[in-house]
Structure 1
Amino acid sequence: MIENARRWRVLAAGLAVGMAGVIGVAGQTASAEPLLPLPPAPNPANVNQTATVAAAPAGLAGPVAPGVTAPGAPAPAPGVPAPAPGAALPVGAPGSVPQLATPAIVPAGSGTIADYFKSKGVKLEPQVSRNFTALSIVLPMPPGWSTVPDPNVPDAFAVIADRSSTDLYTPNAQVVVYKLIGNFDPVEAISHGYVDSLQQMAWQTTDMTMGDFNGFPSSFIEGSYRADSQTINTSRRHVIATVGPDRYLVSLSVNSGAASQGVSAAADATDAIVAGFKVSAPGAGAGTPGA
Protein backbone atom coordinates (compact mmCIF):
# COMPACT_ATOMS: atom_id res chain seq x y z
CA MET A 1 0.00 0.00 0.00
CA ILE A 2 2.76 2.45 0.96
CA GLU A 3 4.73 1.67 -2.24
CA ASN A 4 1.61 2.28 -4.36
CA ALA A 5 1.06 5.57 -2.55
CA ARG A 6 4.65 6.67 -3.17
CA ARG A 7 4.38 5.92 -6.91
CA TRP A 8 1.16 7.91 -7.05
CA ARG A 9 2.74 10.77 -5.12
CA VAL A 10 5.58 11.11 -7.61
CA LEU A 11 3.06 11.34 -10.45
CA ALA A 12 1.00 13.86 -8.51
CA ALA A 13 4.10 15.95 -7.89
CA GLY A 14 4.53 16.62 -11.59
CA LEU A 15 1.05 18.11 -11.86
CA ALA A 16 1.39 20.17 -8.69
CA VAL A 17 4.83 21.56 -9.55
CA GLY A 18 3.51 22.72 -12.89
CA MET A 19 0.89 24.75 -11.02
CA ALA A 20 3.32 26.23 -8.50
CA GLY A 21 3.73 29.43 -10.49
CA VAL A 22 0.10 30.39 -9.84
CA ILE A 23 -0.26 29.07 -6.29
CA GLY A 24 0.60 31.39 -3.42
CA VAL A 25 2.86 30.15 -0.66
CA ALA A 26 0.75 28.92 2.25
CA GLY A 27 1.40 30.04 5.81
CA GLN A 28 3.12 27.78 8.27
CA THR A 29 -0.03 26.78 10.14
CA ALA A 30 -0.96 23.13 9.66
CA SER A 31 -4.49 22.98 8.33
CA ALA A 32 -6.85 20.46 6.82
CA GLU A 33 -10.52 19.62 6.71
CA PRO A 34 -11.77 18.59 10.19
CA LEU A 35 -12.67 14.93 10.44
CA LEU A 36 -16.01 15.53 12.13
CA PRO A 37 -18.35 18.49 12.72
CA LEU A 38 -17.92 20.35 15.99
CA PRO A 39 -20.29 18.93 18.64
CA PRO A 40 -21.06 20.69 21.94
CA ALA A 41 -17.95 20.68 24.12
CA PRO A 42 -18.85 19.20 27.53
CA ASN A 43 -16.31 18.54 30.24
CA PRO A 44 -14.01 15.59 29.44
CA ALA A 45 -15.49 12.27 30.46
CA ASN A 46 -14.16 10.58 33.59
CA VAL A 47 -12.63 7.20 32.79
CA ASN A 48 -11.04 4.66 35.09
CA GLN A 49 -9.04 2.45 32.74
CA THR A 50 -5.25 2.68 32.77
CA ALA A 51 -3.17 2.96 29.57
CA THR A 52 -0.37 4.94 27.98
CA VAL A 53 -0.94 7.77 25.53
CA ALA A 54 2.31 8.19 23.60
CA ALA A 55 3.75 10.39 20.87
CA ALA A 56 6.64 8.21 19.74
CA PRO A 57 9.59 9.19 17.53
CA ALA A 58 9.55 8.02 13.91
CA GLY A 59 13.00 7.47 12.42
CA LEU A 60 15.56 9.44 14.44
CA ALA A 61 14.60 10.45 17.94
CA GLY A 62 12.45 13.56 17.99
CA PRO A 63 10.53 15.55 20.60
CA VAL A 64 7.42 14.12 22.15
CA ALA A 65 4.16 15.89 22.81
CA PRO A 66 3.77 17.56 26.23
CA GLY A 67 2.28 15.26 28.83
CA VAL A 68 2.97 12.02 26.95
CA THR A 69 5.73 9.43 27.05
CA ALA A 70 7.68 7.53 24.41
CA PRO A 71 7.86 3.86 25.44
CA GLY A 72 10.14 1.16 23.98
CA ALA A 73 9.40 -0.84 20.89
CA PRO A 74 8.80 -4.62 21.08
CA ALA A 75 9.63 -6.88 18.14
CA PRO A 76 6.90 -7.29 15.51
CA ALA A 77 5.10 -10.57 15.04
CA PRO A 78 6.69 -13.04 12.57
CA GLY A 79 5.63 -12.43 8.99
CA VAL A 80 4.45 -8.89 9.74
CA PRO A 81 6.38 -5.96 8.20
CA ALA A 82 8.33 -4.03 10.82
CA PRO A 83 7.24 -0.45 11.57
CA ALA A 84 9.29 2.53 10.45
CA PRO A 85 12.78 2.63 12.00
CA GLY A 86 12.60 4.07 15.48
CA ALA A 87 8.80 4.03 15.66
CA ALA A 88 7.86 3.19 19.22
CA LEU A 89 5.00 1.21 20.64
CA PRO A 90 3.39 1.80 24.04
CA VAL A 91 4.05 -0.52 26.95
CA GLY A 92 0.71 -1.79 28.19
CA ALA A 93 -0.43 -2.15 31.78
CA PRO A 94 -1.82 -5.36 33.34
CA GLY A 95 -5.48 -6.19 32.94
CA SER A 96 -5.86 -6.40 29.16
CA VAL A 97 -9.04 -7.80 27.68
CA PRO A 98 -8.80 -10.04 24.56
CA GLN A 99 -10.37 -8.42 21.50
CA LEU A 100 -12.85 -10.27 19.30
CA ALA A 101 -12.24 -10.49 15.56
CA THR A 102 -14.05 -7.85 13.53
CA PRO A 103 -16.70 -9.23 11.13
CA ALA A 104 -16.47 -8.47 7.42
CA ILE A 105 -17.46 -4.85 6.80
CA VAL A 106 -19.44 -3.70 3.77
CA PRO A 107 -18.78 0.01 3.07
CA ALA A 108 -21.84 2.25 3.28
CA GLY A 109 -22.73 4.18 0.14
CA SER A 110 -23.84 7.37 1.88
CA GLY A 111 -23.82 9.14 5.21
CA THR A 112 -20.67 10.05 7.14
CA ILE A 113 -19.83 8.60 10.55
CA ALA A 114 -21.09 11.86 12.06
CA ASP A 115 -24.37 11.44 10.15
CA TYR A 116 -24.68 7.86 11.41
CA PHE A 117 -24.16 8.82 15.04
CA LYS A 118 -26.64 11.69 14.72
CA SER A 119 -29.26 9.32 13.30
CA LYS A 120 -28.75 6.99 16.28
CA GLY A 121 -28.85 9.77 18.85
CA VAL A 122 -25.25 9.09 19.89
CA LYS A 123 -23.50 11.90 21.75
CA LEU A 124 -19.83 12.63 20.95
CA GLU A 125 -17.77 13.85 23.91
CA PRO A 126 -14.38 15.26 22.77
CA GLN A 127 -11.39 14.00 24.73
CA VAL A 128 -8.09 15.75 25.50
CA SER A 129 -4.68 14.10 25.63
CA ARG A 130 -3.75 15.37 29.11
CA ASN A 131 -4.41 12.62 31.67
CA PHE A 132 -6.26 10.52 29.08
CA THR A 133 -6.03 6.88 30.25
CA ALA A 134 -8.88 5.12 28.47
CA LEU A 135 -6.77 3.95 25.51
CA SER A 136 -3.14 3.65 24.47
CA ILE A 137 -2.62 5.81 21.38
CA VAL A 138 0.73 6.10 19.59
CA LEU A 139 1.30 8.99 17.17
CA PRO A 140 4.82 8.78 15.67
CA MET A 141 6.76 12.06 15.64
CA PRO A 142 9.13 12.33 12.64
CA PRO A 143 12.41 14.24 13.07
CA GLY A 144 11.84 17.98 12.66
CA TRP A 145 8.14 17.75 13.48
CA SER A 146 6.57 19.20 16.63
CA THR A 147 3.23 19.56 18.36
CA VAL A 148 1.32 22.65 17.24
CA PRO A 149 -1.93 24.40 18.16
CA ASP A 150 -4.34 24.42 15.23
CA PRO A 151 -7.71 26.20 15.41
CA ASN A 152 -8.66 24.55 12.11
CA VAL A 153 -8.98 21.17 13.87
CA PRO A 154 -12.04 21.20 16.13
CA ASP A 155 -11.64 19.13 19.32
CA ALA A 156 -8.00 18.34 18.52
CA PHE A 157 -6.53 15.57 20.67
CA ALA A 158 -3.10 16.01 19.09
CA VAL A 159 -1.75 17.92 16.08
CA ILE A 160 1.83 17.66 14.85
CA ALA A 161 3.43 19.37 11.85
CA ASP A 162 6.71 20.07 10.11
CA ARG A 163 6.80 23.81 10.76
CA SER A 164 10.21 24.13 9.09
CA SER A 165 8.90 22.72 5.81
CA THR A 166 9.23 24.91 2.72
CA ASP A 167 6.40 23.07 0.96
CA LEU A 168 3.42 25.03 -0.33
CA TYR A 169 1.30 23.16 2.23
CA THR A 170 2.62 22.39 5.71
CA PRO A 171 2.75 18.59 6.27
CA ASN A 172 0.69 17.70 9.34
CA ALA A 173 -1.05 14.93 11.23
CA GLN A 174 -4.16 15.26 13.37
CA VAL A 175 -5.83 13.00 15.91
CA VAL A 176 -9.28 13.54 17.42
CA VAL A 177 -10.87 11.27 20.03
CA TYR A 178 -14.52 11.18 21.06
CA LYS A 179 -16.22 9.15 23.76
CA LEU A 180 -19.44 7.77 22.27
CA ILE A 181 -22.52 7.91 24.49
CA GLY A 182 -25.48 5.91 23.20
CA ASN A 183 -26.42 2.63 21.58
CA PHE A 184 -25.08 1.70 18.14
CA ASP A 185 -23.40 -1.10 16.19
CA PRO A 186 -19.63 -0.38 15.89
CA VAL A 187 -19.31 -2.37 12.66
CA GLU A 188 -22.26 -0.56 11.09
CA ALA A 189 -20.83 2.76 12.25
CA ILE A 190 -17.35 2.17 10.81
CA SER A 191 -18.89 1.13 7.48
CA HIS A 192 -19.47 4.87 6.98
CA GLY A 193 -15.75 5.62 7.40
CA TYR A 194 -15.02 6.37 3.72
CA VAL A 195 -17.83 8.82 3.11
CA ASP A 196 -16.36 11.97 4.68
CA SER A 197 -13.29 11.62 2.45
CA LEU A 198 -15.25 10.77 -0.70
CA GLN A 199 -17.20 14.02 -0.25
CA GLN A 200 -14.06 16.19 -0.53
CA MET A 201 -13.68 18.33 -3.65
CA ALA A 202 -12.15 16.47 -6.63
CA TRP A 203 -11.44 13.43 -4.46
CA GLN A 204 -9.32 10.66 -6.01
CA THR A 205 -8.77 7.40 -4.10
CA THR A 206 -5.42 5.60 -4.17
CA ASP A 207 -6.07 2.99 -1.45
CA MET A 208 -8.89 1.96 0.87
CA THR A 209 -9.58 -0.89 3.28
CA MET A 210 -11.93 -1.81 6.12
CA GLY A 211 -11.46 -4.45 8.78
CA ASP A 212 -9.73 -5.28 12.03
CA PHE A 213 -7.16 -2.84 13.47
CA ASN A 214 -5.62 -4.35 16.60
CA GLY A 215 -8.94 -5.91 17.52
CA PHE A 216 -11.09 -2.88 16.68
CA PRO A 217 -13.23 -2.18 13.58
CA SER A 218 -11.49 0.40 11.42
CA SER A 219 -11.61 2.13 8.05
CA PHE A 220 -8.57 3.44 6.15
CA ILE A 221 -8.62 5.53 2.99
CA GLU A 222 -5.85 7.31 1.12
CA GLY A 223 -6.12 9.75 -1.76
CA SER A 224 -6.11 13.40 -2.77
CA TYR A 225 -8.52 16.33 -2.91
CA ARG A 226 -8.53 20.03 -3.80
CA ALA A 227 -8.48 22.75 -1.14
CA ASP A 228 -7.58 26.44 -1.51
CA SER A 229 -6.29 25.92 -5.07
CA GLN A 230 -3.96 23.14 -3.93
CA THR A 231 -3.99 19.38 -4.27
CA ILE A 232 -3.69 17.76 -0.84
CA ASN A 233 -2.59 14.16 -0.28
CA THR A 234 -4.26 12.61 2.74
CA SER A 235 -4.41 9.33 4.65
CA ARG A 236 -7.35 8.93 7.04
CA ARG A 237 -8.16 6.24 9.56
CA HIS A 238 -11.20 5.89 11.81
CA VAL A 239 -11.15 3.38 14.68
CA ILE A 240 -14.02 2.51 17.01
CA ALA A 241 -12.45 1.17 20.20
CA THR A 242 -14.41 -0.61 22.93
CA VAL A 243 -12.94 -0.68 26.44
CA GLY A 244 -15.21 -2.28 29.03
CA PRO A 245 -18.58 -0.49 28.81
CA ASP A 246 -17.09 2.53 27.03
CA ARG A 247 -16.62 3.15 23.31
CA TYR A 248 -14.46 5.72 21.56
CA LEU A 249 -14.02 7.05 18.03
CA VAL A 250 -10.33 7.68 17.26
CA SER A 251 -9.62 9.45 13.96
CA LEU A 252 -6.25 10.10 12.31
CA SER A 253 -5.65 12.40 9.34
CA VAL A 254 -2.16 12.73 7.80
CA ASN A 255 -1.84 15.47 5.18
CA SER A 256 0.74 16.93 2.81
CA GLY A 257 0.79 18.94 -0.40
CA ALA A 258 1.00 17.00 -3.66
CA ALA A 259 3.73 19.38 -4.83
CA SER A 260 6.01 18.14 -2.06
CA GLN A 261 5.82 14.46 -2.89
CA GLY A 262 8.92 14.50 -5.07
CA VAL A 263 10.85 15.24 -1.87
CA SER A 264 11.52 11.91 -0.15
CA ALA A 265 11.75 13.43 3.33
CA ALA A 266 8.12 14.60 3.26
CA ALA A 267 6.84 11.31 1.84
CA ASP A 268 8.89 9.23 4.27
CA ALA A 269 7.66 11.24 7.26
CA THR A 270 3.98 10.90 6.41
CA ASP A 271 4.40 7.21 5.56
CA ALA A 272 6.09 6.63 8.93
CA ILE A 273 3.19 8.26 10.78
CA VAL A 274 0.60 6.16 8.94
CA ALA A 275 2.56 2.93 9.49
CA GLY A 276 3.36 3.63 13.14
CA PHE A 277 -0.02 4.87 14.34
CA LYS A 278 -1.48 2.53 16.97
CA VAL A 279 -4.62 2.29 19.07
CA SER A 280 -4.95 -0.39 21.74
CA ALA A 281 -6.87 -1.21 24.89
CA PRO A 282 -5.24 -0.65 28.28
CA GLY A 283 -2.70 -3.39 28.94
CA ALA A 284 -3.05 -4.88 25.46
CA GLY A 285 0.05 -3.20 24.02
CA ALA A 286 0.03 -1.97 20.44
CA GLY A 287 -0.21 -5.48 18.99
CA THR A 288 -0.23 -6.02 15.27
CA PRO A 289 -2.58 -3.71 13.32
CA GLY A 290 -4.78 -5.18 10.64
CA ALA A 291 -6.61 -3.26 7.94
Structure 2
Amino acid sequence: MTPGDVGGSARKRGTLLDYLDENDLECVPCSAADPAVPIVTVPVLPGWTRAAPETFPGALSVLLAPDLVCNGFMPNAVVLHGQLSGAADADRLLDAARGTSSQLPGWQEEESSDADFLGHRALFVSGIYDADPWMLASTTRFVVVESAGTQYLTQLTVTTVAEQTEALATDVMVINLGLEIRV
Protein backbone atom coordinates (compact mmCIF):
# COMPACT_ATOMS: atom_id res chain seq x y z
CA MET A 1 0.00 0.00 0.00
CA THR A 2 1.22 3.49 -0.79
CA PRO A 3 -0.05 6.81 0.49
CA GLY A 4 -2.71 7.71 -2.00
CA ASP A 5 -6.24 7.35 -3.15
CA VAL A 6 -7.14 3.67 -3.40
CA GLY A 7 -10.86 4.26 -3.10
CA GLY A 8 -13.65 4.19 -5.59
CA SER A 9 -17.05 5.78 -5.63
CA ALA A 10 -18.12 4.43 -2.21
CA ARG A 11 -15.73 6.61 -0.18
CA LYS A 12 -16.45 6.83 3.53
CA ARG A 13 -13.61 9.07 4.67
CA GLY A 14 -10.75 10.96 3.14
CA THR A 15 -7.47 9.37 2.23
CA LEU A 16 -3.95 10.44 2.98
CA LEU A 17 -3.63 11.81 -0.54
CA ASP A 18 -6.86 13.79 -0.02
CA TYR A 19 -5.48 15.29 3.20
CA LEU A 20 -2.23 16.29 1.52
CA ASP A 21 -4.07 17.81 -1.46
CA GLU A 22 -6.61 19.69 0.69
CA ASN A 23 -3.80 21.20 2.76
CA ASP A 24 -1.52 21.95 -0.20
CA LEU A 25 1.14 19.62 1.18
CA GLU A 26 3.57 17.28 -0.48
CA CYS A 27 5.37 14.30 1.02
CA VAL A 28 8.76 14.25 -0.68
CA PRO A 29 10.66 10.93 -0.39
CA CYS A 30 13.80 11.16 1.73
CA SER A 31 17.13 9.60 0.89
CA ALA A 32 18.87 7.38 3.42
CA ALA A 33 22.09 9.13 2.38
CA ASP A 34 20.83 12.57 3.52
CA PRO A 35 22.34 13.26 6.98
CA ALA A 36 19.78 16.01 7.66
CA VAL A 37 16.76 13.66 7.85
CA PRO A 38 15.81 11.20 10.59
CA ILE A 39 17.35 7.77 10.13
CA VAL A 40 14.76 5.04 9.58
CA THR A 41 15.65 1.34 9.66
CA VAL A 42 13.92 -2.03 9.92
CA PRO A 43 15.54 -5.35 10.82
CA VAL A 44 16.39 -7.83 8.07
CA LEU A 45 15.31 -11.20 9.46
CA PRO A 46 16.60 -14.62 8.37
CA GLY A 47 14.87 -15.54 5.10
CA TRP A 48 14.26 -11.88 4.24
CA THR A 49 16.50 -9.85 1.90
CA ARG A 50 16.89 -6.17 1.22
CA ALA A 51 15.72 -5.40 -2.32
CA ALA A 52 17.13 -2.82 -4.70
CA PRO A 53 15.51 0.62 -4.18
CA GLU A 54 14.02 0.61 -7.68
CA THR A 55 11.86 -2.40 -6.69
CA PHE A 56 9.39 0.09 -5.24
CA PRO A 57 9.95 3.64 -6.55
CA GLY A 58 9.91 6.21 -3.77
CA ALA A 59 10.54 3.64 -1.03
CA LEU A 60 13.31 4.15 1.48
CA SER A 61 13.68 0.41 2.02
CA VAL A 62 12.09 -2.79 0.71
CA LEU A 63 12.43 -6.24 2.26
CA LEU A 64 11.40 -9.41 0.43
CA ALA A 65 11.03 -13.02 1.60
CA PRO A 66 11.84 -15.02 -1.56
CA ASP A 67 11.74 -18.40 0.20
CA LEU A 68 8.25 -17.73 1.59
CA VAL A 69 6.36 -17.19 -1.67
CA CYS A 70 2.78 -18.45 -1.35
CA ASN A 71 0.54 -18.89 -4.39
CA GLY A 72 2.86 -16.65 -6.38
CA PHE A 73 2.92 -13.79 -3.84
CA MET A 74 6.16 -12.81 -2.11
CA PRO A 75 5.84 -11.42 1.43
CA ASN A 76 7.28 -7.92 1.62
CA ALA A 77 7.92 -4.99 3.91
CA VAL A 78 8.04 -1.49 2.44
CA VAL A 79 9.27 1.61 4.25
CA LEU A 80 8.25 5.00 2.91
CA HIS A 81 9.79 8.05 4.57
CA GLY A 82 9.04 11.53 3.33
CA GLN A 83 9.45 15.13 4.35
CA LEU A 84 6.23 17.10 4.51
CA SER A 85 6.41 20.39 2.62
CA GLY A 86 4.64 22.24 5.44
CA ALA A 87 3.02 21.84 8.83
CA ALA A 88 0.35 19.17 9.17
CA ASP A 89 -2.09 18.42 11.97
CA ALA A 90 -0.71 15.03 13.01
CA ASP A 91 -4.04 13.67 14.26
CA ARG A 92 -5.90 14.66 11.09
CA LEU A 93 -3.10 13.28 8.94
CA LEU A 94 -3.23 9.94 10.77
CA ASP A 95 -7.02 9.83 10.52
CA ALA A 96 -6.66 10.26 6.77
CA ALA A 97 -4.08 7.46 6.76
CA ARG A 98 -6.66 5.21 8.41
CA GLY A 99 -9.08 6.25 5.66
CA THR A 100 -6.59 5.12 3.03
CA SER A 101 -6.38 1.64 4.55
CA SER A 102 -10.14 1.34 4.93
CA GLN A 103 -10.62 1.89 1.21
CA LEU A 104 -8.60 -1.13 0.12
CA PRO A 105 -10.90 -3.60 -1.72
CA GLY A 106 -12.79 -5.73 0.79
CA TRP A 107 -10.82 -4.24 3.72
CA GLN A 108 -11.51 -5.98 7.05
CA GLU A 109 -9.72 -4.23 9.89
CA GLU A 110 -8.48 -6.62 12.56
CA GLU A 111 -6.54 -4.31 14.86
CA SER A 112 -5.74 -0.64 15.25
CA SER A 113 -3.97 1.57 17.73
CA ASP A 114 -3.32 5.28 17.85
CA ALA A 115 -0.71 4.96 20.59
CA ASP A 116 2.44 6.99 20.10
CA PHE A 117 5.43 5.08 18.69
CA LEU A 118 8.95 5.94 19.86
CA GLY A 119 7.59 9.21 21.25
CA HIS A 120 5.93 10.27 17.99
CA ARG A 121 2.26 10.46 16.98
CA ALA A 122 1.40 7.22 15.23
CA LEU A 123 -1.26 4.91 13.88
CA PHE A 124 -1.00 1.14 13.59
CA VAL A 125 -3.59 -0.76 11.59
CA SER A 126 -3.81 -4.36 10.45
CA GLY A 127 -6.32 -6.24 8.40
CA ILE A 128 -6.99 -8.24 5.29
CA TYR A 129 -8.09 -7.15 1.84
CA ASP A 130 -8.80 -8.56 -1.59
CA ALA A 131 -6.07 -8.19 -4.21
CA ASP A 132 -7.37 -10.70 -6.72
CA PRO A 133 -6.25 -13.47 -6.91
CA TRP A 134 -5.05 -13.17 -3.29
CA MET A 135 -6.50 -12.28 0.08
CA LEU A 136 -3.65 -10.29 1.59
CA ALA A 137 -2.86 -9.56 5.22
CA SER A 138 -1.32 -6.19 5.89
CA THR A 139 0.05 -4.29 8.85
CA THR A 140 0.83 -0.62 8.45
CA ARG A 141 2.39 1.78 10.91
CA PHE A 142 2.24 5.48 10.10
CA VAL A 143 4.47 7.76 12.21
CA VAL A 144 4.58 11.56 12.14
CA VAL A 145 8.10 12.58 13.10
CA GLU A 146 9.05 16.12 14.15
CA SER A 147 12.71 17.03 13.84
CA ALA A 148 14.34 20.46 13.77
CA GLY A 149 11.07 22.21 12.91
CA THR A 150 10.29 19.84 10.04
CA GLN A 151 7.68 17.09 9.86
CA TYR A 152 8.24 13.71 8.27
CA LEU A 153 5.82 10.89 7.57
CA THR A 154 7.15 7.37 7.95
CA GLN A 155 5.09 4.40 6.80
CA LEU A 156 6.00 0.73 7.28
CA THR A 157 3.72 -1.78 5.56
CA VAL A 158 4.26 -5.53 5.86
CA THR A 159 2.16 -7.62 3.46
CA THR A 160 1.68 -11.38 3.27
CA VAL A 161 -0.90 -13.74 1.85
CA ALA A 162 -3.67 -14.03 4.48
CA GLU A 163 -3.22 -17.78 4.76
CA GLN A 164 0.37 -17.14 5.96
CA THR A 165 -0.72 -14.89 8.82
CA GLU A 166 -0.14 -17.44 11.55
CA ALA A 167 3.07 -18.86 10.07
CA LEU A 168 4.62 -15.40 9.62
CA ALA A 169 3.18 -13.74 12.75
CA THR A 170 6.56 -13.59 14.51
CA ASP A 171 8.35 -12.14 11.47
CA VAL A 172 5.64 -9.51 10.99
CA MET A 173 5.71 -8.58 14.69
CA VAL A 174 9.53 -8.35 14.82
CA ILE A 175 9.68 -6.19 11.68
CA ASN A 176 6.97 -3.87 13.04
CA LEU A 177 8.48 -3.57 16.51
CA GLY A 178 11.99 -3.32 15.05
CA LEU A 179 11.20 -0.12 13.16
CA GLU A 180 13.72 2.48 14.36
CA ILE A 181 13.47 6.21 13.81
CA ARG A 182 16.45 8.23 15.02
CA VAL A 183 16.16 12.01 14.97
C-alpha RMSD of the superposition: 2.0
Residue in 1 that maps onto 2:9 = none
1:152 to 1:232, Cα distance in 2 relative to 1, 3 A: farther
Q: Unmatched 5+ residue regions in structure 2? A: 6-11
- TM-score normalized by the length of structure 1: 0.56
Mapped pair 1:244 → 2:148: yes
Deviation for aligned residue 1:133: 4.5
Any idea what SS the aligned residue of 1:117 has?
helix
Mapped pair 1:118 → 2:17: no
Mapped pair 1:208 → 2:176: no
Deviation for aligned residue 1:152: 6.5
Which has the higher Rg, Structure 1 or Structure 2? 1
Give 4+ residue runs of structure 1 displaced > 4 Å after superposition: none
Q: Deviation digits for residues 193-233 of structure 1, max 9, x if unmatched?
A: 21111000111111001131122111110000010211000
How many residue pairs align between the two structures? Answer: 176
Deviation for aligned residue 1:280: 3.6
Deviation for aligned residue 1:279: 2.2
Q: Deviation digits for residues 78-137 of structure 1, max 9, x if unmatched?
A: xxxxxxxxxxxxxxxxxxxxxxxxxxxxxxx61112211111111221112234542132
Q: Unmatched 5+ residue regions in structure 1? A: 1-32, 38-108, 282-291
- Counterpart Cα distance in 1 of 2:40 and 2:104: 27
Residue in 2 that maps onto 1:187 = 91
Mapped pair 1:144 → 2:47: yes
| Alignment check: 8 A CA contact 2:123 2:143 kept | yes
Deviation for aligned residue 1:191: 2.3
Any idea what SS the aligned residue of 2:19 has?
helix
Mapped pair 1:127 → 2:30: yes
- TM-score normalized by the length of structure 2: 0.87
Residue in 1 that maps onto 2:103 = 199
Structure with more strand by fraction? 2
- Which letter does structure 1 place at the counterpart of 2:116? D
- Counterpart Cα distance in 2 of 1:138 and 1:123: 22
Of 159, 163, 179, which residue of structure 2 is paired with 1:277? 179
| Alignment check: 8 A CA contact 1:34 1:154 kept | no
- Counterpart Cα distance in 1 of 2:19 and 2:154: 16
